[in-house]
Amino acid sequence: MPEFSKQLERLEAIVRRLEAEDLDLDEALKLFEEGVERLRAAREQLAQAELKVKKVLEIESPS
C-alpha cells in the first residue's frame, strides 16, 4: 500500500484531471474508480493510525 502522502497526492491529481473539461466519459469513469479506491485505502490507513494512537495513549495512561 502506498504511503498516505502518496495516496493524497494521487487523489489531488485525479481531482484536477476530473475537473478538466477535456476528459471523455470512459477516462473520467476510470479516474473516478481509481479515486474511490485510493480514498478507501487512505481512510483505512487513517483508521489504523488512529487505533495505534489509542493503544499508545492507553499504555501511557492506563485507566
**What is the pTM for the complete model shown?**
0.79
Which pLDDT does position 2 carry in this prediction? Answer: 72
pLDDT digits (tens, 9 = 90+) for 35-63: 999 999 999 999 999 999 999 998 877 76
Dihedral sign for Cα atoms in the order 22, 28, 30, 36: positive
Q: Hey, what's the cell of 45? A: 490507513
Q: How does residue 1 score in pLDDT terms, banded at 50, 70 and 90?
A: low
Mean pLDDT of 1-24: 92
Which pLDDT does position 41 carry in this prediction? Answer: 94
CA–CA gap between residue 35 and residue 11 (Å, rounded)? 6
Secondary structure percentages of the chain, helix, strand, coil, to 5: 85, 0, 15
